[in-house]
């Protein structure tokens, strides 16, 4: 058996409890991954609070993870046991249900197409902080067809997604001028991420900003007010649903290992950095406290969970003895890590 955080009814963070689950068995195209770090996203809270996606209880929350491959299905081609991988496993089946349990568990199964090799220069915690937020951040630029040399106004430069939007604008998409908003204590922090100008939203309203921008990227769902800083023909991206202004286009994300792989050069040369909220990483046993903090809406970068219990002991023995393997499910390789 393995430990995993779960809930059996919708509600506040108090419905979260630590449960025991059988070790999942990888199908032919899947990996069994020993999770070494995970990250929380607002969707994990929203999904726990109300039935956003059809879910069967108990639900194990968590989309993001970094860990070590400990077993693989017979049709896996890209990865081997011992490989360090990371990814967002929020992948749906044809019925619109999540394909597997979430990442706040010691072990998860995941299709190989959904993960990428962890860049060697990143810790498990850094890698786990990235997938969902960076996939979201990229999709907004792509949806807006952002071009090098354009100007960008980012609403919410300090959050999980916003910290990456600022960095991508600077280092990947070549924005000529980057303006981002945040509250007073985080102004210097967002400047250091790469914003040319940081607007303290506690002191300055959108109406007071004279310039107009080629692209408005709103990460907090404030388009009903922020739209005034966009040029008349500028794309406005809102990553919250539903968008709060008729001109705003909702942008979501693509769950794939490929889009993470494309970021490898940027991550390896250190230009794109994982931003972990300084209150963390939280220990696995402190997941409820980590959710409490995330739900304040004040996180700076990502809320990360670390120190999963299984990392203190080998996994092979328990894997082999507890898998109820059928011939088509038999993993080709299993190892101890
Ligand atoms: N469409 C998708 O696929 C997708 C993917 C990921 C996330 N989302 C959604 O996008 C939203 C943001 O996600 P996230 O992970 O970035 O959340 P997050 O990390 O919890 O965001 C927290 C940040 O929001 C900032 N903030 C709050 N109010 C603000 C305001 N009025 N102006 C500027 N900044 C403000 C806070 O900065 P201060 O403390 O300075 O206020 C804080 O740093 C959530 O609603 C999430 O569900 C959608």
Task: Tell me what pLDDT residue 91 has.
Answer: 75
- What separation in Å is there between the alpha carbon of 75 and the centre of ligand 1? 39
- What separation in Å is there between the alpha carbon of 182 and the centre of ligand 1? 10
**List of residues 6+ apart from 203 with CB closer than 8 A:** 184
Task: Tell me what pLDDT residue 328 has.
Answer: 33
Among 3.40.50.2000, 3.40.50.10800, 3.40.50.720, 3.40.50.11900, what is the CATH number of 133-250?
3.40.50.720
Task: Tell me what pLDDT residue 97 has.
Answer: 75
Which atom of ligand 1 is found nearest the CA of 183? Answer: 40
Query: Which residue is it, tokens 């300090």?
Result: 158
pLDDT in tens, 182-234: 999 999 999 999 999 999 999 999 999 999 999 999 999 999 999 999 999 99
Pocket residues: Cβ below 6 A from ligand 1: 41-43, 132-133, 136, 155-156, 158-162, 181-183, 186, 201, 219-222, 239-240, 252-253, 294, 297-300
- What separation in Å is there between the alpha carbon of 125 and the centre of ligand 1? 20
Q: At what angle do helices 160-171 and 131-143 cross, to 10 degrees?
A: 50
**227 touches 245 (CB < 8 A):** yes
Which two structure tokens, joined as six digits, stand for 128?
């786990």
In which residue ranges of the chain is pLDDT below 50?
A: 314-337
Task: Tell me what pLDDT residue 95 has.
Answer: 78
- What separation in Å is there between the alpha carbon of 220 and the centre of ligand 1? 5
Task: Tell me what pLDDT residue 23 has.
Answer: 92
Between CA 128 and CA 134 the distance in angstroms is: 11
Task: Tell me what pLDDT residue 2 has.
Answer: 94
Mutate to test the pocket of ligand 1, among 156, 158, 180 (most ligand atoms within 8 A of CB): 156
Q: How many CB atoms lie within 10 A of CB 9?
A: 9
**List of residues 6+ apart from 204 with CB closer than 8 A:** none
Name which residue sits closest to atom 40 of ligand 1, judged by CA.
183
In DSSP notation, 166-215 reads HHHHHHTS--SEEEEEE-GGGHHHHHHHT-SEEEETTT--GGG----BSE
Name which residue sits closest to atom 27 of ligand 1, judged by CA.
297
Angle at 320 between CA 315 and CA 323, to 5 degrees: 110
Name which residue sits closest to atom 3 of ligand 1, judged by CA.
252
DSSP 13: G
Task: Tell me what pLDDT residue 329 has.
Answer: 34
Name which residue sits closest to atom 11 of ligand 1, judged by CA.
220
What are the residue ranges spanned by the domains of the chain?
2-130+275-334, 133-250
**Residue from 102, 84, 85 nearest 40 by CA:** 102
Q: At what angle do helices 287-294 and 42-49 cross, to 10 degrees?
A: 100
In DSSP notation, 252-305 reads -----HHHHHHTHHHHHTTSS---B-TT-PEEGGGHHHHHHHHTTT--SSBEEE
Which atom of ligand 1 is found nearest the CA of 185? Answer: 40
Angle at 278 between CA 220 and CA 48, to 5 degrees: 50
Q: Global pTM?
A: 0.93
Task: Tell me what pLDDT residue 131 has.
Answer: 98
pLDDT in tens, 38-77: 999 999 999 999 988 777 899 999 999 999 999 999 999 9
**Residue from 127, 140, 184 nearest 166 by CA:** 140
- What separation in Å is there between the alpha carbon of 299 and the centre of ligand 1? 8
Among 3.30.70.20, 3.90.180.10, 3.10.180.10, 3.40.50.1820, what is the CATH number of 2-130+275-334?
3.90.180.10
Which atom of ligand 1 is found nearest the CA of 46? Answer: 47
**Residue from 124, 55, 114, 113 nearest 89 by CA:** 114
**Residue from 139, 96, 150, 108 nearest 260 by CA:** 139
């Amino acid at each position: 058996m393995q430990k995993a955080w779960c809930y059996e009814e919708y509600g506040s963070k108090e419905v979260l409890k630590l449960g025991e689950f059988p070790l999942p068995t990888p199908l032919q195209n899947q990996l069994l991954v020993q999770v070494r770090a995970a990250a929380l996203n607002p969707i994990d809270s929203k999904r726990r609070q109300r039935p956003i996606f059809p879910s069967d209880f108990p639900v194990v929350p968590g989309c993001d993870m970094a860990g070590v491959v400990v077993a693989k299905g017979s049709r896996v081609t890209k990865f081997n046991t011992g490989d360090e991988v990371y990814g967002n496993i929020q992948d749906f089946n044809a019925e619109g249900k999540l394909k597997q349990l979430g990442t706040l568990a010691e072990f998860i199964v995941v299709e190989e197409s959904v993960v990428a090799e962890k860049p060697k220069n990143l810790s498990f915690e850094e890698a786990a902080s990235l997938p969902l937020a960076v996939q979201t951040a990229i999709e907004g630029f792509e949806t807006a067809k952002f071009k090098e040399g354009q100007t960008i106004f980012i609403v919410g430069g300090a959050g999980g997604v916003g910290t990456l939007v600022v960095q991508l604008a600077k280092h990947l998409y070549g924005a000529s001028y980057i303006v981002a908003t945040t509250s007073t204590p985080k102004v210097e922090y967002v400047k250091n991420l790469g914003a040319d100008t940081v607007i303290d939203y506690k002191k300055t309203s959108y109406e007071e900003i004279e310039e107009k921008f080629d692209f408005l990227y709103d990460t907090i769902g404030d388009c009903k007010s922020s739209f005034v800083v966009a040029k008349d023909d500028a794309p406005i991206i809102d990553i919250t649903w539903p968008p709060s202004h008729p001109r705003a286009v909702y942008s979501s994300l693509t769950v794939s290992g490929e889009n993470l792989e494309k970021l490898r050069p940027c991550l390896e040369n250190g230009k794109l950095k994982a931003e972990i909220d300084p209150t963390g990483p939280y220990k696995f046993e402190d997941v409820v406290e980590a959710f409490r903090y995330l739900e304040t809406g004040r996180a700076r970068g990502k809320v990360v969970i670390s120190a999963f219990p299984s990392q203190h002991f080998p996994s092979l023995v328990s894997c082999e003895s507890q898998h109820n393997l059928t011939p088509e499910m038999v993993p080709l390789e299993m190892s101890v890590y």
